[in-house]
Amino acid sequence: MPNALKKRKIAVLGPRSVGKSSLVKQFIENHFQDSYYPTIESTFAKSVVYKGVEYDCHIIDTAGQDEYSPINAQYAIGIHGYVLVYSITSKNSFNMIQIIHDKIVDFCGVSKIPCVIVGSKCDLSIQRQVDSKDGEQLAKENDCAWIETSAKNNINVGKVFELCLHEIERNTKPNQAEPPAKSCVVM
Ligand SMILES: Nc1nc2c(ncn2[C@@H]2O[C@H](COP(=O)(O)OP(=O)(O)OP(=O)(O)O)[C@@H](O)[C@H]2O)c(=O)[nH]1
């Protein structure tokens, strides 16, 4: 029997066209489309039961970032956890992940964020430019989770959000009832 409903806000960030919207849509709506429509921003809600606890998840699908994109305050304030997506078919997108991660950490003024690094489009292994071990290593260096997914073939899609909930809980102090949503100081 699930316990009380806990609200968790998760932001999905990454470079353009890596499959952020496809991942979120597969998770929320159980479908995949081949056509590409650049995202401005969309928020989705889904109730997820993880380890017997029901979470009311709000997932923010964001516009693709490049190295010059500033971190929008909306993606830092009130966010409990992050999903950072690169495509296994693009080394450039992988190289952006550390940059985006560090921008969030700087913006929030924290040393660490609850985060899952996702290597998307793993069905396109013939076009692979990023080794799994490099993804794993990056996650290890940043003390976060890592997984490869295919929104197209629905591989590991639900697992991404379970890992994110796990990372959020892992970053909650034992005597703290609720994890603090990341916030920042107004100067
Ligand atoms: N083969 C394959 N293609 C994918 C997968 N996920 C996404 N795509 C394709 O990649 C393209 C971009 O996907 P989107 O989900 O729109 O990417 P995005 O990261 O949300 O893009 P932005 O809105 O620009 O940030 C689309 O043509 C998708 O069909 C996948 O798992 N496998």
* Residue-wise pLDDT tens digits, 122-138: 999 999 999 999 999 99
User: Distance, CA 173 to ligand 1 centroid (Å)?
Assistant: 36
pLDDT in tens, 20-50: 999 999 999 999 988 888 878 889 999 999 9
H helix count then E strand count, the chain: 4, 6
CA distance 58 to 80: 10
CA quadruple 37, 19, 66, 126: dihedral, nearest 10 = -120
Distance 161 CA to ligand 1 centre (A): 18
| Residue 151, ligand 1, Cβ within 6 A | yes
Q: Report whether residue 119 contacts ligand 1, using a CB cutoff of 6 Å.
A: no
CA of 24 to the centre of ligand 1 (A): 10
The count of residues in the chain is 187
Distance 122 CA to ligand 1 centre (A): 12
Give the ranges where the chain is alpha helix by DSSP (H): 20-29, 91-108, 132-141, 157-170
- What pLDDT digit, counting tens, does each position of 47-80 carry? 999 999 999 999 999 999 988 888 888 888 899 9
Does this model's pTM top 0.80? yes
**Region label for 85, one of left (φ > 0), alpha (ψ between -120 and 50) or beta (otherwise):** beta
